[in-house]
């Protein structure tokens, strides 16, 4: 198995609300969720999968030969263009990285293996972490480590990065890991000292949170009334974006206008904070931080 799909039965169980419907898997990965969606939908239904990563796209092209299935090498941020004229019965987001990203050291996602310091989901777009980290100001590095990794040692790590790059450019994951280790407190912790910094740099370089915010707004328009949006996130930054995005917004009126705003609720949260079972966590450690939320559109905006 290349990647163990997380909360597979739970996610697809909620998502497929109409077996003849049209679905989008916005984060194809290695197609674990797509495969089960195809098993659960009828011959006339359809599934469009997206992935930013060219290797995920190539995998889908090669191994998913099904006339109901189509895969596009695109970011989920582009779903408004992709589904300009079509509305959907279900949209799935299974956020973050695949195990394949960490297993392939040439992608530079892992602090456990030496590789080029890259971390882009799409290595043909944007800049690798190495380019950014060798040019960014100390303050910007602190901000990124703190904002996206909640790294308490952000200051000392950023300082060590700036000192080290004066001698040699930082181009390898192993060099960055060594720098982080040298700057981290010696307190014993459950997680490796580089975990939070690597997470922060990955989120930043892929613009993950802004893309998620924008994509959810677009998904809310594309989904049909009675349609379902399922989001599986892996850390609190993502989960709080998901929660906020589906909160009913109350329009603010100036105090002097005596109006009771009529609020039409657009979405119902039909499953809140679903977590993997102990069984799933024991067979797939990566699933332990997953949180799933499910929303049903109950009214058009």
Ligand X SMILES: C[S@@+](CC[C@H](N)C(=O)[O-])C[C@H]1O[C@@H](n2cnc3c(N)ncnc32)[C@H](O)[C@@H]1O
**Measured from the CB of residue 107, what is the shortest distance to ligand X in angstroms?**
10
Q: Tokens 């596009």 map to which residue?
A: 72
Neighbours of 169 (CB within 10 A): 15
Q: Which of 5, 60, 108, 193 binds ligand X (CB under 6 A)?
A: 5
Asked if residue 271 lies in contact with residue 220, where contact means CB atoms within 8 angstroms, the answer is no
Residue 248: partners with Cβ closer than 8 Å, 6 or more residues away: 263, 265, 266, 267
Q: Which of 31, 90, 108, 193 binds ligand X (CB under 6 A)?
A: 31
**Measured from the CB of residue 135, what is the shortest distance to ligand X in angstroms?**
24
Asked if residue 6 lies in contact with residue 287, where contact means CB atoms within 8 angstroms, the answer is yes
**Measured from the CB of residue 36, what is the shortest distance to ligand X in angstroms?**
9
Degrees, nearest 5: CA angle 285-289-292: 120
52 contributes a contact to ligand X by CB under 6 A: yes
Degrees, nearest 5: CA angle 101-105-111: 90
**Measured from the CB of residue 27, what is the shortest distance to ligand X in angstroms?**
3
Region binding ligand X by CB under 6 A among candidate stretches 90-98, 235-243, 247-255, 266-274: 90-98
Q: Which of 53, 89, 238, 266 binds ligand X (CB under 6 A)?
A: 53
50 contributes a contact to ligand X by CB under 6 A: yes
List binders of ligand X among 172-231 (CB under 6 A).
Answer: 211
When the beta carbons of 100 and 164 are compared against ligand X, the nearer one is: 100
Closest Cα partner for 235 from 87, 107, 95? 95
CA-based R_g, the chain, Å: 21
3 contributes a contact to ligand X by CB under 6 A: yes
Degrees, nearest 5: CA angle 277-279-285: 90
**Alpha-carbon span 81 to 108, nearest angstrom:** 31
60 contributes a contact to ligand X by CB under 6 A: no
51 contributes a contact to ligand X by CB under 6 A: yes
276 contributes a contact to ligand X by CB under 6 A: no
What is the DSSP code (8-state) at residue 116?
B
**Measured from the CB of residue 207, what is the shortest distance to ligand X in angstroms?**
8
Instruction: Point out which residues pair with 94 in neighbouring strands.
Output: 232
List binders of ligand X among 112-141 (CB under 6 A).
Answer: 121
How many chain residues interact with ligand X (CB under 6 A)?
Answer: 22
149 contributes a contact to ligand X by CB under 6 A: no
Neighbours of 61 (CB within 10 A): 12
48 contributes a contact to ligand X by CB under 6 A: no
Q: Which of 23, 57, 76, 204 binds ligand X (CB under 6 A)?
A: 76
Q: Which of 22, 48, 75, 110 binds ligand X (CB under 6 A)?
A: 75
Region binding ligand X by CB under 6 A among candidate stretches 16-24, 71-79, 133-141, 184-192: 71-79
Range list of H helices, the chain: 8-15, 32-40, 54-63, 79-82, 99-103, 129-135, 138-149, 154-167, 173-183, 195-205, 208-222, 236-245, 278-283
94 contributes a contact to ligand X by CB under 6 A: yes
Q: Which of 21, 23, 32, 230 binds ligand X (CB under 6 A)?
A: 32
Closest Cα partner for 51 from 69, 32, 33, 25? 25
Q: Which residues bind ligand X (CB under 6 A)?
A: 3, 5, 26-27, 29-33, 50-53, 56, 75-77, 94, 96, 98, 121, 211
């Amino acid at each position: 198995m290349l990647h163990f799909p997380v909360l597979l039965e739970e996610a697809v169980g909620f998502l497929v609300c109409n077996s003849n419907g049209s679905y989008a898997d916005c984060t194809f990965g290695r197609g674990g969720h797509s495969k089960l969606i195809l098993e659960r939908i009828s011959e006339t239904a359809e599934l469009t999968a997206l992935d930013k990563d060219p290797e995920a796209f190539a995998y889908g092209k090669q191994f998913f030969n099904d006339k109901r299935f189509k895969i596009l090498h695109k970011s989920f941020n582009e779903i408004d263009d992709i589904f300009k004229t079509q509305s959907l019965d279900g949209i799935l987001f299974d956020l973050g990285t695949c195990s394949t990203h960490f297993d392939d050291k040439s992608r530079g996602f892992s602090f456990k293996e030496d590789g080029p310091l890259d971390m882009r989901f799409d290595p043909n777009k944007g800049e690798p972490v190495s380019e950014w980290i060798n040019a960014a100001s100390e303050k910007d590095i602190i901000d990124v480590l703190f904002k996206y990794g909640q790294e308490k040692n952000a200051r000392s790590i950023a300082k060590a990065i700036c000192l080290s790059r004066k001698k040699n450019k930082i181009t390898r994951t192993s060099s960055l890991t060594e720098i982080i280790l040298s700057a981290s407190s010696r307190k014993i912790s459950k997680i490796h000292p580089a975990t939070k910094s690597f997470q922060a740099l990955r989120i930043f370089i892929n613009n993950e949170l802004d893309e998620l915010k924008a994509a959810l707004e677009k998904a809310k328009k594309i989904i049909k009334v009675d349609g379902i949006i399922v989001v599986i996130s892996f850390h609190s930054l993502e989960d709080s974006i998901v929660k906020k995005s589906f909160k009913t917004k109350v329009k603010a009126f100036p105090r002097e206008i005596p109006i009771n705003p009529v609020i039409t609720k657009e979405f119902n949260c039909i499953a809140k904070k679903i977590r993997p079972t102990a069984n799933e966590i024991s067979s797939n450690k990566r699933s332990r931080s997953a949180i799933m939320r499910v929303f049903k559109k109950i009214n058009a905006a």
